[in-house]
Amino acid sequence: MNNTALITGASSGIGLELARLHAAKGDNLVLVARNKAKLDELKQELEATNNISVTTIKKDLSLPDAAREVYDETQEKNIRVDYLINNAGFGDFGLFYETDWEKELRMINLNITSLTQFCKLYLKEMIKRGSGKIMNVSSTAAFQPGPTMAVYFATKAFVLHFSEAIGNEVGDKGITVTALCPGATESGFPAAAGMGTDNFIDKKKIPTSKEVAAYGYKAMMKGKAVAIHGLMNALMVNSIRLTPRSLTVKVVRKMME
């Protein structure tokens, strides 16, 4: 029987590339995103080129209890989720006292609440079976405070620490939890965060979503707890441990501006 991967934020970026990768490996898919047209287009592509089944679910995961609704739908369809990939997320750019609270609330609901609820629901099923893998997409932003993106950086810190903690709790039950921590990646993230095309992220060579997805897939399959993509990102993250926090936050502020 084919394994099944549930991927949120599957209509673009890293999520889309993860869907293609899992399909190529022969995994059935449950793809979740707000854009049903893009999901159905991807479903048609993947089913035509791979001997798999793809289920698409249109859902805004920034809304309360949306994760429960997705879970209930998979239960009704008797879909067993072997790989849970919490990829959906977005950021916002600006000084905290000037940014929009409603957007930040949606960000918290998506980046934290839905991700946590998905883990709560599907972990119970995985524990019963004694197998399963979870990948939560965090970020190198998780390792330090982020002035001008304060809420986003904080949500990713939650994802990292939460993933490590529950990974420890279920490590003896045949289940692994991986926190994927990419740095800047070619995707629609800067535009969605209101960072514009002139931001420093667009002026340097950065990895593609396909490259990050391939790295994340390998890390999840190996059961790696924390997967930091890219040597420079890994060096940066580890150097922060030796730097005074007051200096770190000033450096991040300068970089972001």
Cα–Cα distance, 155 to 168 (Å, whole number): 20
pLDDT tens digit string along 145-163? 999 999 999 999 999 999 9
- Domain definitions of the chain by residue range: 4-256
pLDDT digits (tens, 9 = 90+) for 106-146: 999 999 999 999 999 999 999 999 999 999 999 999 999 99
Active site residue: 71, 122, 152, 217, which one? 152
Please state, in angstroms and rounded to a whole number, the distance separating the CA atoms of residues 89 and 189.
9
Per-residue pLDDT band at 191 (split at 50, 70, 90): low
**What CATH number labels 4-256?**
3.40.50.720
152 has catalytic annotation: yes
Q: What is the pTM of this model?
A: 0.89
Q: What is the mean pLDDT of residues 209-223?
A: 98
